[in-house]
């Protein structure tokens, strides 16, 4: 099984969170899992401009030639995708949201009814399962966590996959690794 | 009343968000004494300055298209700039934005999506209501408009009613400082398709109406044959 972790901790963010994810990566690798972490803050990644080149000009490929090529190659071949980020103003950091926006080349422009709602077709055979791993901010409350969980549930519906867990970094690395290993 | 508006569309000037905002602004400005000022969040290098303008405004509109079930990345980056500057130490008095400002400052939101059902916007709607509280602002409401992607490709007779609704919404807001519930409901439309729509959907799909727009664009760009390409497949 191959797990990709997208780390949306900004350069000015919390170093503890990077350490936490590094320990998670080590644990997964020790358990002879294939795993890779992308520290998005250190990568060259443009914001999506909504130009739709990836849908109607160069199908499946973004107009920008930056590090997203590598990220998309890895996601397209992954079984599991972990969206990891410290919270900021009640949501995952823009460092991660920027990459989420850039994931649409994985979808086709065409829409179909899926679970009774309009959703895009997948460009590739399948999407990885999704997980969310967040670090709380000072004023995070249960409502914030619920909102984030709902947003990612919606996202998983759009990628015709499932959100398997939403956890905070209060949970031990071992427990997260165990959860990832369960399937 | 002065309304300060932030357009969160990465498409900036040529965005559907800006068009809808424009009709709202026109209605709003018909009321004597009202003024409207708009800023494009596409200009990321201006975010710090815009955040300062945001803080100094009494009434704010934040508008954006739905991107992957939430706000676009540039909008999230802007929201991060709105974090209250001073971090209060324990026991210190509540910061101003939590007390006095509550009663005064008001924020309204506009979210428009390509998908035709309102259900897609509900999660971010909850987020925005919470955001208003986080900022210490009164939330004047969230305008949801689903199925807005095609408005620039549609003939005027198809968008006329929609633009009039945004104009009226702006006009009423300009007068009363409130978003009209009836109009909000009309704009929001159906939460999900009812079962009777399903056969119609598949009929449209079968005759190629659903995919027509995309196929036309693909053909214009000479990319139709490559429409199912998988450039990131591991060989």
Q: What is the pLDDT of residue B103?
A: 56
Question: Chain B contacts of A103, Cβ < 8 Å?
Answer: 68
Q: What is the mean pLDDT of residues B184-190?
A: 95
- The pLDDT tens digits of the residues spanning B202-216 come to 887 777 777 888 999
- Considering only the beta carbons, identify the residue of B71, B227, B234 that sits closest to A77: B234
- Please give the model's pTM, rounded to 2 decimal places: 0.94
Q: What is the pLDDT of residue A175?
A: 96
Kindly state the DSSP code that residue A44 receives in the 8-state scheme.
-
Name the helix (H) or strand (E) containing A109. Answer: strand A107-114
Please tell me if residue A67 touches chain B, with a CB cutoff of 8 Å.
no
In chain A, the largest separation of any two C-alpha atoms, in whole Å, equals 45
The answer to whether the CB of B142 falls within 8 A of the CB of B132 is no
Question: Chain B contacts of A52, Cβ < 8 Å?
Answer: 217
The answer to whether the CB of B148 falls within 8 A of the CB of B63 is no
Q: What is the pLDDT of residue B92?
A: 47
Q: What is the distance of C-alpha A115 from the center of its chain?
A: 22
Q: Measure B24 CA to nearest chain A CA, in Å.
A: 23
pLDDT > 70 fraction of chain B, expressed in percent and rounded: 91
Q: What is the pLDDT of residue B162?
A: 95
Rounded Cα distance, B193 and A117, in Å: 7
What tokens appear for A83 in the block?
Answer: 């969206």
- Residue A22 CB partners (closer than 8 Å, separation 6+): A37
Q: What is the pLDDT of residue B83?
A: 85
Q: What is the pLDDT of residue B98?
A: 53
Low-confidence stretches of chain A (pLDDT beneath 50): none
Indicate the Cα dihedral angle B112, B135, B1, B8, nearest 10°: -30
pLDDT > 90 fraction of chain B, expressed in percent and rounded: 74
Question: Chain A contacts of B221, Cβ < 8 Å?
Answer: 56-57
Please tell me if residue B8 touches chain A, with a CB cutoff of 8 Å.
no
Question: Chain A contacts of B198, Cβ < 8 Å?
Answer: 113
Q: Measure B31 CA to nearest chain A CA, in Å.
A: 34
Please tell me if residue B227 touches chain A, with a CB cutoff of 8 Å.
yes
- Residue B181: strand, helix, or coil: helix
A85-89, B80-84, B225-229: least confident range:
B80-84
Please tell me if residue B221 touches chain A, with a CB cutoff of 8 Å.
yes
Q: What is the pLDDT of residue B85?
A: 58
- The pLDDT tens digits of the residues spanning A138-181 come to 999 999 999 999 999 999 999 999 999 999 999 999 999 999 98
Q: Which residues pair with A2 in a beta bridge?
A: A34
User: What pairing do the DSSP bridges indicate for beta strands A34-39 and A163-168?
Assistant: unpaired
Q: What is the pLDDT of residue A32?
A: 79
Q: Please name the residues between 29 and 48 in chain A that touch chain B, using a CB distance below 8 Å.
A: 47-48
Please tell me if residue A142 touches chain B, with a CB cutoff of 8 Å.
no
Name the pLDDT band for B193 (thresholds 50, 70, 90). confident
Q: Is the pLDDT of residue B66 over 60?
A: yes
Rounded Cα distance, B60 and B48, in Å: 16
Q: What is the pLDDT of residue B93?
A: 47
Q: The dihedral of CA B1, B65, B15, B131: what is its sign?
A: positive
Task: Report CB contact under 8 Å: B123, A151.
Answer: yes
The answer to whether the CB of B67 falls within 8 A of the CB of B124 is no
- The pLDDT tens digits of the residues spanning B37-60 come to 999 999 999 999 999 999 999 999
What tokens appear for A131 in the block?
Answer: 């997980």
Kindly state the DSSP code that residue A131 receives in the 8-state scheme.
E
A to B CB pairs, distance under 8 Å? 161
The answer to whether the CB of B94 falls within 8 A of the CB of B37 is no
User: What pairing do the DSSP bridges indicate for beta strands A117-122 and A107-114?
Assistant: antiparallel
Task: Report CB contact under 8 Å: A158, B232.
Answer: no
The answer to whether the CB of B28 falls within 8 A of the CB of B174 is yes
Neighbours of A27 (CB within 10 A): 19
Question: Chain A contacts of B228, Cβ < 8 Å?
Answer: 59, 108, 123
Residue of A180, A39, A51, A140 lying closest to A99 (CA atoms): A39
Q: Is the pLDDT of residue B163 over 70?
A: yes
Question: Chain B contacts of A67, Cβ < 8 Å?
Answer: none
Nearest residue in chain A measured CA to CA from B231? A60
- Considering only the beta carbons, identify the residue of B15, B67, B116 that sits closest to A48: B67
Task: Report CB contact under 8 Å: A57, B223.
Answer: yes
Please tell me if residue A15 touches chain B, with a CB cutoff of 8 Å.
no
Interface confidence, given as ipTM, is 0.97
Q: Is the pLDDT of residue B201 over 90?
A: no
- Considering only the beta carbons, identify the residue of A57, A73, A110 that sits closest to B221: A57
Neighbours of B55 (CB within 10 A): 16
């Amino acid at each position: 099984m191959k797990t990709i972790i997208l780390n949306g901790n900004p350069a000015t963010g919390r170093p503890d969170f990077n350490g936490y994810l590094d320990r998670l990566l080590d644990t997964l690798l020790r358990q002879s899992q294939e795993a890779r972490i992308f520290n998005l803050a250190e990568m060259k990644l443009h914001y999506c401009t909504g130009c739709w080149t990836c849908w109607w000009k160069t199908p499946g490929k973004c107009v920008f030639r930056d590090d997203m090529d590598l990220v998309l190659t890895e996601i397209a071949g992954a079984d599991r995708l972990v969206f990891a980020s410290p919270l900021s103003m009640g949501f995952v950091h823009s460092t991660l949201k920027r990459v989420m926006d850039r994931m649409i080349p994985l979808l086709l422009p065409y829409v179909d009814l899926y679970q009774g709602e309009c959703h895009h077709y997948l460009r590739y055979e399948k999407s990885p399962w999704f997980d969310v791993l967040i670090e709380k901010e000072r004023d995070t409350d249960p409502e914030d966590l619920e909102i984030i969980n709902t947003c990612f549930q919606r996202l998983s519906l759009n990628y015709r996959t499932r959100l398997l867990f939403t956890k905070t970094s209060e949970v031990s690395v071992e427990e997260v690794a165990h959860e990832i290993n369960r399937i | 009343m002065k309304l300060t508006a932030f357009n969160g569309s990465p498409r900036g000037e040529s965005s559907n968000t800006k068009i809808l905002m424009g009709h709202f602004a026109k209605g709003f400005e018909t009321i004597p004494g009202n003024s409207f000022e708009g800023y494009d969040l596409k200009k990321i290098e201006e975010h710090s300055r815009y955040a300062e303008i945001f803080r100094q405004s009494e009434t704010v509109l934040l508008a954006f298209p739905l991107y992957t079930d939430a706000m676009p990345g540039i909008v999230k980056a802007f929201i991060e700039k709105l974090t209250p500057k001073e971090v209060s130490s324990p026991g210190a008095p509540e910061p101003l934005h939590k007390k006095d400002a509550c009663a005064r400052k008001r924020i309204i939101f506009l979210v428009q999506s390509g998908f035709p059902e309102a259900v897609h916007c509900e999660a971010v709607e909850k987020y925005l209501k919470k955001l208003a509280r986080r900022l210490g602002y009164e939330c004047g409401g969230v305008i949801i408009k689903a199925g807005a992607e095609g408005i620039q490709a549609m003939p005027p007779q198809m968008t006329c009613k929609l633009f009039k609704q945004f104009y009226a919404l702006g006009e009423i807001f300009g007068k009363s400082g409130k978003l009209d519930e009836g109009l909000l409901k009309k704009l929001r439309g159906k939460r999900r398709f009812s079962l009777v729509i399903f056969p119609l959907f598949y009929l449209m799909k079968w005759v190629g109406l659903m995919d027509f727009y995309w196929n036309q664009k693909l053909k214009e760009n000479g990319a139709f044959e490559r429409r199912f390409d998988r450039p990131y497949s591991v060989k």
